[in-house]
Chains A and B, each alone.
Chain A
């Protein structure tokens, strides 16, 4: 499995009160735990089970993820930043690993 690397599409600037679209993607096999290998053994579950987006300490979007979500989970959502600040995105793996991304936005 290639190292999960999160990707983000977030505008660099926005007008105060403007609704912006945030797109996120992370490469991850999202192994459901239902598949079997060639020998007939179940391939253990290994998924991203939680995704959160915070802005200056406030939760903007959060999702508890189940094995129903397919590989390379893509999340797209809207936000309405009222002031300049930093968005922080966190992906939590079943094995406890956390993948994070931070990006600032300038709100005029």
Chain B
């Protein structure tokens, strides 16, 4: 308490004198994530061409209580959505009378590791495709079922279930397919452009100030290896595009539509920034 009081006083003094103060207690945790006996990669060497030397999972920037929730697959509230996703996987839906399982059988086998390699290039759509869009494609084209609206409860549960089959697998995108590099470059440009009334870019917080606090929030590097994520603040699963829109809204900018070209490009680039980190879905964050 004394230490906190001292830092508070120093911060106040620093603020008055206009000097930026680096708070030592704001560093990412030195901790190991083991889920059901499997060690996950939460810190690794950054890929070639990355501005950082080391990429870190957002898990390391959370409090011990939050980190503990993710460790325990019984307590992790996101696992309830994995279970719901499994129900949906096995449920027949649409005019073709099929369920996901009709074609893909046991998700633990057919969906193993694939979540770590999305977004992928879709030759048919001539743009990158993510899990949510792939699900909707399957529903429309193969099942005769209505595609999910963005952030439908079932869409989130099913996406969480599918990505959870890749738990532990290091994120690795194939940027050689189709025009993926063009979209990567576009996403990179978007990452560094300042927008909104607050004139902030993704880089303003996640590249230049990760490890520091923005109000009460401990800024991470902004990696997306844990999405969809169980956010304690909202007490339910949060999809990646929901988070993108939320962040951009928070800069007081107009935020793009989910699955728009802007956000698909951003997803490609931001996913790449976390290459090598294990898929943590469903991650638990603040």
Which residues from chain A sit less than 8 Å from chain B, CB to CB?
Answer: 2, 5, 7, 9, 23, 25, 27, 70-72, 74
Stretch of B8-16, B73-81, B168-176, B267-275 on the interface side: B73-81
Q: How far is the CA of A23 from the CA of B236 in the complex (A)?
A: 20
Interface string of B228-260 (1 = CB under 8 A from A): 000000011000000000000000000000000
Given contacts A2-B87, A70-B235, A71-B235, contact A23 B80 (CB under 8 A): no
Q: How far is the CA of A25 from the CA of B235 in the complex (A)?
A: 15
The secondary-structure label for the interface of chain A is loop
Whole-angstrom distance between the Cβ of A54 and the nearest chain B Cβ:
21
Whole-angstrom distance between the Cβ of B127 and the nearest chain A Cβ:
32
Taking a contact as CB atoms under 8 Å apart, the answer to whether A25 and B87 are in contact is no
* Additional pairs, 18, CB under 8 Å, beyond known A2-B84, A27-B84: A2-B87, A5-B83, A7-B74, A9-B74, A23-B74, A23-B75, A25-B74, A25-B75, A25-B80, A27-B80, A27-B83, A70-B235, A71-B235, A71-B236, A72-B77, A72-B80, A72-B235, A74-B75
Q: How far is the CA of A9 from the CA of B236 in the complex (A)?
A: 22
How extensive is the interface on chain B, given as a class? under 10
Q: How far is the CA of A7 from the CA of B74 in the complex (A)?
A: 8
The number of inter-chain residue pairs (CB within 8 angstroms) is: 20
Q: How far is the CA of A91 from the CA of B235 in the complex (A)?
A: 21
Interface centre among A2, A7, A9, A23 (most CB of B within 10 A): A2
Within 8 A of A (CB), among B77-134: 77, 80, 83-84, 87
Q: List 20 A-B contacts (CB under 8 A).
A: A2-B84, A2-B87, A5-B83, A7-B74, A9-B74, A23-B74, A23-B75, A25-B74, A25-B75, A25-B80, A27-B80, A27-B83, A27-B84, A70-B235, A71-B235, A71-B236, A72-B77, A72-B80, A72-B235, A74-B75
Q: How far is the CA of A13 from the CA of B83 in the complex (A)?
A: 27
Q: Which 8 pairs of residues, A with B, have the shortest CB-CB distance?
A: A27-B80, A9-B74, A2-B84, A71-B235, A72-B77, A70-B235, A23-B74, A72-B80
